[in-house]
Structure 1
Amino acid sequence: MTISEVSEKFDIPQDTLRYYERIGLIPRVNRNKSGIRDYTEEDCNWVEFIKCMRGAGIPIEVLIEYVALFQQGDATIEARKQLFIEQRRQLIEKMKDMQKTLERLDYKIAKYENEVIPAEKALGKKEN
């Protein structure tokens, strides 16, 4: 696949794909005889993986470390596992924080829907 096809397939700008390759976030993509990037299925799997992890907020630095460890082979399996365990722990904490925020937003929306806030304002109460 060309970079434009991969860009369209994964909804990632071409410049971002080039950047990911340049910083080692995705392994070096082979090029055809004309020098154009030629993404294989394996390359696309890396792009999909990175998009998923970035979508969840996993830092680029952590993913670069993972890719580097992966490229070193099976001797790094435990290190990769520990890296993912730590990222999972952090993600669970973020999800808990997001859940609290969601609950607060739901509460505030319900207050607006029930017109409680306009009544409070009429009484001079402060909104939090």
Structure 2
Amino acid sequence: MTYTIKDVAKITGLSIFTIRFYDKEGLLPFVSRNKSGIREFTESDINQIKTICCLKNTGMQIKDIKKYIDFCMEGASTIDSRKKLFLEHRNKIINQINALTENLKLIDLKLEIYTSPNAVEIINEQIRIVNDEKRENCLPSRYTQITPSPSL
């Protein structure tokens, strides 16, 4: 069974424009064309496009994806090169995940403060510390403290 570019767009979630762009960039050398010059995709082609999407979605640059596709087109003799490329990319992803995890911890800490019943007091204390630090270093402070509203 073969698929049209429209079918592939629907299956992969890519736009037809993106698929054509990938083809123009040399990422789809495995896609065949019929006698009329129209692209015809197979299941294997779609699976390779899904791999391209995975690599793109995890931050791999087009030039490196092209390098991977070129390795694939050269056959089994490039397994070590593919493995090296994927290990390097995997390490970049792990570093990104670790950085995101650290950022998420800070966001969670801030949310914990902002949802605390003592949020105003905590923020005012933080501002007091910042203002003291600025004053000790002869720097102006631009922070404003909030006066807690009286309880009703």
- Under TM normalisation by the shorter chain, which class is it? 0.7 to 0.9
CA distance in 1, matches of 2:23, 2:40: 13
Q: Relative to 1, partners in 2 of residues 1:52 and 1:116: Cα closer, same or farther, differing over 3 Å?
A: farther
The higher-RCO structure (CA 8 Å, 6+ apart) is 1
Residue identity opposite 2:60 in structure 1: I
Which consecutive residues of structure 2, in runs of 5 or more, have no partner in the other structure?
131-152
In the other structure, the counterpart of 2:140 is none
Question: Given that residues 21 and 28 in structure 1 are in contact (C-alpha distance below 8 angstroms), is that contact kept between their aligned partners in structure 2?
Answer: no
TM-score, L = length of structure 1: 0.86
Is it true that 1:21 corresponds to 2:23 in the alignment? Answer: yes
2:97 is matched with: 95
1:113–1:67 CA distance, 2 compared to 1 (3 A): same
**Whole-Å separation in 1 of the counterparts to 2:86 and 2:121:** 49
Q: 1:16 to 1:125 in 2, by over 3 A?
A: same
Instruction: Give TM-score scaled by structure 2 length.
Output: 0.74
3-state secondary structure, aligned to 1:58: coil
Uncovered stretches (5+) of structure 1, i.e. residues with no partner:
none
Query: 1:12 is paired with a residue of what secondary structure?
Result: coil
Query: Which residue identity is paired with 1:89?
Result: N
Q: Which moved more, 1:56-65 or 1:32-41?
A: 32-41
Q: Following TM superposition, where does structure 1 have runs of at least 4 consecutive aligned residues deviating by more than 6 angstroms?
A: none
Q: Is the 8 A contact 2:113 2:122 kept in 1?
A: no
Q: Secondary structure of 1:7's partner?
A: helix
Q: Which has the higher helix share?
A: 1
CA deviations on 1:38-97 (whole Å, 9 max, x unpaired) are 111111011111111211112222111111111112221111111111111111111111
CA-based RMSD: 2.2
| 2:54 counterpart of 1:57 | no
- Which residue number corresponds to residue 3 of structure 1? 5
Change (3 A) 1:115 1:7: farther
**Alignment match, 1:77:** 79
**1:114 corresponds to 2:88:** no
Tell me the matched-pair count. Answer: 128
Q: CA deviation at 1:112?
A: 1.4
Q: Distance in 2 between matches of 1:16 and 1:30?
A: 17
SS for the counterpart of 2:127 is coil
